[in-house]
A and B are shown apart, each in its own frame.
Chain A
């Protein structure tokens, strides 16, 4: 406990229990009865009272408050707790010598039975019920996602037809925040991924003397898969969470309600600029990540004795523009998904400060799940069509 509080044992106890026999007992109060001085003493008195109450019936307890110099709300609560225990056991209770000015305060709490609520028993939910509720939640969530997708699609079409009415200021802010400010971290992660990827591949390839094929392998992997994926996951961690927190705070502060009651669509107003920003920055960031990663890979292979020109020629033989295009198209889809999911989670925010944190977490988790889903679907289509 805190060192600020005067320990009650240093001073004489403010309450003393004395019992004449099994049916008569007295509690004498002295000095200042407050929330600090009652610490410990309260428990002692209650324990003594409990032990005494077990000894007989029709017991009467006298509370002698004549030596009290001051009594505050905690003192009143102490009186009430003793009186409550006495009432419960069917005994008598009397307060003597309490200064008149404390009486009105004591009366405030009549009847005191209200202060001792029966603890509510939580209804138990069976496994089947909770499973059903979880399924229901999942369905609701999916329903919300589908509705939101529909609204978003409609509003994106609207924004193409009413290009001047889009909130371009918000779009620029979101694009700067999600794009330009993300360059350092995307560059760092892409560089490290490039090094690690080619280094790991080189260890395996070296056994067959095939280090020269690491370049084409790494480059193809980077432009088709790693570049878009890494960038999307970073965007999910940075911007999806930021969108959710931003819109979530607006929801908590009723700002979204203010938009709706003003006849404006929150999706058009808040979501469309952010999704457009996501669509713009994702391919650019991905291209940047691809380039940084491939350069990192080139330097790594130099350590294995593969000159730049060999790496370059090997890369050109394996990677063509279609591969880069496929990666960038996928990145654009990731951009839509990540920014839209962030906004959706923001709009679904409940109330209170904790809700914003929950929304941001959900935004990141859902974004990553959606990235993987989209990636899977894209891989299937790409396998079928050869793109």
Chain B
């Protein structure tokens, strides 16, 4: 049994991006993006602040409509899908937003069970147990009755990951999961991500700046650049660090200050 057997579709790619252009109105952030994410892969999107990483992510999971091009999630075109078909694609992945975006009027357990209540036929007790498992995975089991406003920002992020996993999606989109976490929690989170990827074959698409975390988990990275309006590097992060000839990539992976670059 291979690691990707959880994925029911026959497509080789979890996500297939074709000629995507990302932007707002006449402001084009990126264009001619072409890349694929394999099933079960941990895929990291890199780039400096303001280059459009989060915007790209929101285009990938269909929150924003791309300027042009297509995004295929497990072979299904989310850009063109409408109504029920679109909703079905939407339930096949989970999303963690940068600020957590937990529902403020619900405690952590209720936040995690919300989507289960809408999409499954489980009883409340079963959903509660399932939600506790998710909270346990991110180390928040003792906080199930806390409101989002009563826990720290890092804990909110972890709770948001638990909520994203509520329906056991095949793909998880995480927007800067380890930013603002302490090194130990961040390492724990990395190991949880690796476990989920290895054991359940979940595909991860992660926006991140944390180099240590990227080296630890990423199978493949793409690096975006504001000036180039597109991908400037693609591949294994360690290989890029050691052998990329592109000065921008070299600077990023080796944390060289702007003023030191001639």
B212 interfacial contact with A, CB 8 Å: no
Q: Which of A66-74, A191-199, A204-212, A236-244 contacts B (4 or more CB under 8 A)?
A: A66-74
B217 interfacial contact with A, CB 8 Å: no
Q: Is the CB of A109 within 8 A of B136?
A: yes
Q: Is the CB of A114 within 8 A of B141?
A: yes
Q: How distant is the Cα of A35 from the Cα of B126 in the complex, in angstroms? A: 10
Q: How distant is the Cα of A105 from the Cα of B200 in the complex, in angstroms? A: 9
CB distance from A215 to the nearest CB of B (A): 54
Q: How distant is the Cα of A102 from the Cα of B201 in the complex, in angstroms? A: 11
Q: How distant is the Cα of A350 from the Cα of B147 in the complex, in angstroms? A: 13
Q: How distant is the Cα of A74 from the Cα of B157 in the complex, in angstroms? A: 22
Report the nearest A residue to B5, measured CB to CB: A70
A203 interfacial contact with B, CB 8 Å: no
Interface centre among B91, B119, B130 (most CB of A within 10 A): B130
B123 interfacial contact with A, CB 8 Å: yes
Report the nearest B residue to A2, measured CB to CB: B119
Known contacts A4-B91, A73-B133, A81-B129; decide if A38 and B3 are in contact (CB<8 Å): no
Report the nearest B residue to A106, measured CB to CB: B199
B 137-181 contacts with A by CB, 8 A: 137, 141, 144-145, 147-149, 165, 167-168
B258 interfacial contact with A, CB 8 Å: no
Q: Which residues does chain A contribute within 8 Å of B130, judged by CB atoms? A: 35, 73-74, 77
Q: Which residues does chain B contribute within 8 Å of A90, judged by CB atoms? A: none
Q: Is the CB of A8 within 8 A of B121?
A: yes
0 or 1 for each of A87-108: is its CB under 8 Å from B? (1 = yes): 0000000000001011011001
Q: Which residues does chain B contribute within 8 Å of A5, judged by CB atoms? A: 119-121
Interface centre among B1, B84, B145 (most CB of A within 10 A): B1
Known contacts A73-B133, A99-B1, A351-B149; decide if A38 and B122 are in contact (CB<8 Å): yes
Q: Which residues does chain A contribute within 8 Å of B147, judged by CB atoms? A: 352
B132 interfacial contact with A, CB 8 Å: yes
A131 interfacial contact with B, CB 8 Å: no
Q: How distant is the Cα of A51 from the Cα of B45 in the complex, in angstroms? A: 52
Q: Is the CB of A115 within 8 A of B141?
A: yes
Interface centre among A1, A2, A351 (most CB of B within 10 A): A2
Q: Which residues does chain B contribute within 8 Å of A105, judged by CB atoms? A: 195, 199-200
Q: Is the CB of A109 within 8 A of B195?
A: no
Known contacts A74-B130, A352-B147; decide if A34 and B168 are in contact (CB<8 Å): yes
0 or 1 for each of A116-146: is its CB under 8 Å from B? (1 = yes): 1100100000000000000000000000000
B246 interfacial contact with A, CB 8 Å: no
- Residue B121 contacts which of A40, A80, A99, A108 (CB distance < 8 angstroms)? A40
Q: Is the CB of B1 within 8 A of A101?
A: yes
Number of interface residues of B (CB under 8 A): 39
Q: Is the CB of A108 within 8 A of B126?
A: no
Q: Which residues does chain A contribute within 8 Å of B144, judged by CB atoms? A: 117
Q: Which residues does chain B contribute within 8 Å of A200, judged by CB atoms? A: none
Known contacts A69-B5, A115-B129; decide if A3 and B84 are in contact (CB<8 Å): yes
A380 interfacial contact with B, CB 8 Å: no
Q: Is the CB of A352 within 8 A of B105?
A: yes
Q: Which residues does chain A contribute within 8 Å of B5, judged by CB atoms? A: 69-70
List A residues at the B interface (Cβ < 8 Å): 1-5, 7-8, 32, 34-36, 38-40, 42-43, 69-70, 72-74, 76-77, 80-81, 99, 101-102, 104-105, 108-109, 114-117, 120, 350-354
| Listed A/B pairs (29) with beta-carbon separation below 8 Å | A4-B88, A4-B119, A5-B120, A35-B122, A35-B167, A36-B119, A39-B121, A42-B122, A69-B5, A72-B168, A73-B134, A73-B137, A73-B168, A74-B130, A74-B168, A76-B133, A77-B133, A99-B1, A104-B195, A105-B195, A105-B200, A109-B133, A114-B141, A115-B132, A117-B144, A351-B104, A351-B149, A352-B104, A352-B149
- Pick the 8 closest A-B CB pairs, nearest first: A39-B121, A352-B104, A351-B149, A72-B168, A77-B130, A70-B6, A73-B168, A77-B133
List B residues at the A interface (Cβ < 8 Å): 1, 3, 5-6, 8, 84, 87-88, 91, 104-105, 116, 118-123, 126, 129-130, 132-134, 136-137, 141, 144-145, 147-149, 165, 167-168, 195, 198-200
